[in-house]
Copies of this chain bind each other. A is one copy, B any other.
């Protein structure tokens, strides 16, 4: 066992940490959220140049190595600045699906472009009735000659507003909740029959609803084996789950620090409110929650990277634990900031919103507690 970052990880952490501190302050973020693109092309290009876009890919595909620890180290720093660029949606999720299921030609066509920063993608998996059940796929793809014809609706597709290409989870056979019969198709976002309604999420990310009306794609757009993609999807979503957990831990750390600092400067009844012991102990509780989150995040990342590999139970443990901490720290940070905490002008509320969104992304706290218990 070894709990220290290696040299490469230390460099990655320093690099991201320095960048967001210098070039990604709250005003910068506000402007990006307000912009119609839904993310900043400039920052994305910088991320590419700094090599960060290669982190979730294997060395053999030209990536940094696709190690969970690397990903969490980076995402924690992103979380400190609540970066809204679609790193997880485009790279970890859509890119992850291509990396895990794509053939050599598909990987070559896509992964390089993703790592260079010239391609934006999204993974369309959730549906109006699916909630967090990855096997619940009502969107169908029926084969017709050498094509698939797609019909259905996909919900809250992260980076859906900016994505040029989609990985769409479709049902090629079986009943709506069957575990088999689930396939992945590459779909150009501008294909005929694709309609989208794009929007911002409550936490400032870009997303969209997608409606597929007899959308035809070539059978060469199939990623992986027809009807057998649920396992890939689960791994990809688990990896994305780990990534948002890391982001949450970064955001919590900032909220904790901001709250401690704010209470030291805010005076009420003639003294700084940090002198009130009832508030002090609540901040101690926030600290404890943060530390436990940091610990379980490390645990999950290390278990995923361990010799015996993929550990969905560890990821559900982390999501459950961090979800609880995100709730407490977010709510307490707002409460201890008082009135300004619920206004749009202060950054604190935006960290709170992101932490809230993360609680319900890729499965709620309860969902993951149950999954932890059942698998």
Q: Once bound together, how far apart are the Cα atoms of A280 and B280, in whole Å? A: 13
Q: Which residues of B contact A280 (CB under 8 A)?
A: 278
Of chain B, the residue at the smallest CB distance from A281 is B278
Of chain B, the residue at the smallest CB distance from A280 is B278
Q: Which residues of B contact A277 (CB under 8 A)?
A: 276-278
Q: Which of A278-306 contact B (CB under 8 A)?
A: 278, 280-281
Closest-CB distance, A136 to chain B (whole angstroms): 25
Q: Once bound together, how far apart are the Cα atoms of A345 and B336, in whole Å? A: 41
Q: Which of A301-357 contact B (CB under 8 A)?
A: none
A contacts, CB < 8 Å to B: 276-278, 280-281
Closest-CB distance, A188 to chain B (whole angstroms): 48
A-B contact pairs, 6 of them (CB 8 A): A276-B277, A277-B277, A277-B278, A278-B278, A278-B280, A278-B281
Q: Once bound together, how far apart are the Cα atoms of A278 and B283, in whole Å? A: 11
The list of the 6 closest CB pairs from A to B, nearest first, reads A278-B281, A277-B277, A277-B278, A278-B278, A276-B277, A278-B280
Q: Which residues of B contact A278 (CB under 8 A)?
A: 277-278, 280-281
Closest-CB distance, A281 to chain B (whole angstroms): 4
Of chain B, the residue at the smallest CB distance from A284 is B278
Closest-CB distance, A346 to chain B (whole angstroms): 25
Q: Once bound together, how far apart are the Cα atoms of A276 and B278, in whole Å? A: 8
Q: Once bound together, how far apart are the Cα atoms of A264 and B278, in whole Å? A: 17
Q: Once bound together, how far apart are the Cα atoms of A35 and B281, in whole Å? A: 45
Q: Which residues of B contact A276 (CB under 8 A)?
A: 277
Of chain B, the residue at the smallest CB distance from A276 is B277
Q: Once bound together, how far apart are the Cα atoms of A277 and B277, in whole Å? A: 5
Q: Once bound together, how far apart are the Cα atoms of A278 and B284, in whole Å? A: 11
Q: Which residues of B contact A281 (CB under 8 A)?
A: 278
Closest-CB distance, A284 to chain B (whole angstroms): 9
Of chain B, the residue at the smallest CB distance from A275 is B277
Of chain B, the residue at the smallest CB distance from A279 is B277
Q: Once bound together, how far apart are the Cα atoms of A184 and B281, in whole Å? A: 55
Q: Once bound together, how far apart are the Cα atoms of A277 and B281, in whole Å? A: 9
Closest-CB distance, A263 to chain B (whole angstroms): 13
Q: Once bound together, how far apart are the Cα atoms of A277 and B278, in whole Å? A: 5
Closest-CB distance, A169 to chain B (whole angstroms): 34
Q: Once bound together, how far apart are the Cα atoms of A277 and B283, in whole Å? A: 14
Closest-CB distance, A333 to chain B (whole angstroms): 18
Q: Once bound together, how far apart are the Cα atoms of A281 and B280, in whole Å? A: 12
Q: Once bound together, how far apart are the Cα atoms of A276 and B280, in whole Å? A: 11
Q: Once bound together, how far apart are the Cα atoms of A278 and B281, in whole Å? A: 7
Q: Once bound together, how far apart are the Cα atoms of A213 and B276, in whole Å? A: 65
Q: Once bound together, how far apart are the Cα atoms of A276 and B281, in whole Å? A: 11
Closest-CB distance, A285 to chain B (whole angstroms): 10
Q: Once bound together, how far apart are the Cα atoms of A48 and B332, in whole Å? A: 54
